Structure 1
Amino acid sequence: MSHPTITLEAASKIIDAGQLKARDLGLNAVFAVLDAGANLVAFERMDGAWLASNDLALAKARTSVMFEAPSEALNAPLQLGEPVAHFDHTNGGLLLMGGGVPLFDTSERIIGAVGASGGTPEQDAEIARAAAG
């Protein structure tokens, strides 16, 4: 039985769509597309994008594929007296801020995620949503 996955061709189209949105916002961004096992399929850094965005885009995509949810959806506000979920010591490099979006096939099975970094978390989330279609 084969597992659903994302092709390099599909990943390239996702990145192209994300770059269009980043340009519309006047940003230079980094894009990481992972498969359902959180393995890197495609990675691109627009000219002039911050070097720090390399790790951030990967972490946002990893977070999104691991939880099968947009990375910003996992960033719940702090509430006094309540336990705080934090993943700063995980081996996987997770990041709970906007810019990671899961990718699903037509049967709604997860096939991967895209991570974008280059602006504010809100801008990155907008870019990633545009990339994912």
Structure 2
Amino acid sequence: MAQGRAAAQDAGVNAVFAILDAGAHLVTFSRMDGAWLASNELSIAKARASVMFRAPSEALNVPWQAGQPVPHFDHIHAGGLLLMAGGVPLLDGDGQLIGALGVSGGTPEQDAALARAAIARVLE
């Protein structure tokens, strides 16, 4: 979480981070001061989608365009999934799914970049 928070600070984004295990159970959660309250649920829903499909949360979605309706946003209420960028699978050294990281607080593109940056910082 510290690596994700540092990446978010570097990007000027107040974000929420959620890590789920391979069974989609919440393992840890961190909310930066000033992050939107809605991001609490959104980060978990992005991580859940990533675990359920073993892929980035945006893999089954269409690109998001500023000023346009947010596609698939309603899925957070229908099963707790959000097919929007910001959820990334976590894999062990053998490539096996061990969980997912979900990030919410910026645009979907920013959230995805923060999730990937957090993972990259852990692997450094």
**Which TM-score band applies after superposition, normalised by the shorter structure?**
0.7 to 0.9
Bigger radius of gyration:
1
Please give the alpha-carbon distance, in whole angstroms, between the structure 1 residues aligned to 2:97 and 2:18.
Answer: 16
Moved segments of 4+, more than 6 Å: none
Deviation readout 1:81-131 (Å, 9 max, x if unpaired): xxxxx673632x111111000000001000000000010000000001112
How much does 1:74 deviate? 1.6
Matched, 1:67 2:48: no
Aligned-partner residue type, residue 12 of structure 2: G
Q: How does 1:83-98 map to 2 (within 5 A)?
A: 88=75, 90-91=78-79, 93-98=80-85
CA RMSD of aligned residues (A): 1.4
**Residue 62 of structure 2: aligned partner:** 76
Q: Give the equivalent residue in structure 1 for 2:67.
A: none
TM-score by length of 2: 0.83
Identity, in percent, stands at 67
CA distance in 1, matches of 2:88, 2:8: 15
TM-score normalised per structure 1: 0.78
**Gapped regions of structure 2 (runs ≥ 5):** 64-71
Pairing 1:122–2:109 present? yes
Give the whole-Å Cα distance in 2 for the aligned partners of 1:103 and 1:49.
24
Task: Report deviation, 1:76.
Answer: 3.2
Aligned to 1:11: none
How many residues are treated as equivalent by the alignment?
Answer: 110
Q: Which runs of 5+ in 1 are unaligned?
A: 1-14, 78-85
Partner of residue 66, structure 2: none
The aligned counterpart of 1:56 is: 42
How far residue 17 of structure 1 moved from its aligned partner, in angstroms, is 1.3
Aligned to 2:100, the other structure's residue is in SS state strand
How much has 1:132 moved relative to structure 2? 2.1
Counterparts of 2:119 and 2:85 in 1: how far apart (Å)?
14
Tell me if the contact between 1:114 and 1:131 (Cα under 8 Å) persists in the aligned partners. no
Q: What is the distance in 1 between the residues matched to 2:58 and 2:13?
A: 20
